[in-house]
A = this chain, B = another copy of it.
Amino acid sequence: MEKADAIEALAALAQETRLDIFRTLVEYRPSGLPAGQIAQLLELPGATLSFHLNQLKQAGLIQSIRQGRSLIYSANTDAVDALADFLREDCCSKSAAGAGEAAVGGR
């Protein structure tokens, strides 16, 4: 996973409303939910919801398909797993490359 993509995904989830939306979609996996039902569950105005759905989609965390006049949104849990992997392996954890150097110097 690229750094830029990771940042986008992190930013997408680092916002309460969006995290709530995403978690709701995870709950209703794998079939997904129409936008209206998400709005109802979370008591969000349509415009606000749409804004956040766009961010999540942009980040690759959700996708949508049309079903009649509804748009069914569903969570892409693989993207979250990839993000978790990025945190653990490529980025920021003990196992990240290059760990173990010293620069402070005890003397």
Say whether B31 contacts A91, CB under 8 Å: no
Contacting pair B31 A104 (CB below 8 A): yes
Q: Which residues of the partner chain B approach A104 to less than 8 Å between Cβ atoms?
A: 31-34, 67, 72
Interface string of A60-104 (1 = CB under 8 A from B): 000000010000100101001101100110011110101111111
Interface 0/1 of A27-49, CB less than 8 Å to B: 11111111001000000000000
Contact status B72-A26, CB under 8 Å: no
Copies of this chain, complex-wide, total 2
Contact A101 B27 (CB under 8 A): yes
Taking CB atoms, residues of chain B closer than 8 Å to A33 are 103-104
| Interface residues, chain A, with chain B CB atoms under 8 Å away | 3, 6-7, 10-11, 13-16, 19, 22-23, 26-34, 37, 67, 72, 75, 77, 80-81, 83-84, 87-88, 91-94, 96, 98-104
Beyond A23-B91, A84-B87, 9 additional contacts (C-beta under 8 Å) are A3-B16, A22-B91, A29-B99, A34-B104, A75-B92, A83-B87, A84-B88, A84-B93, A87-B87
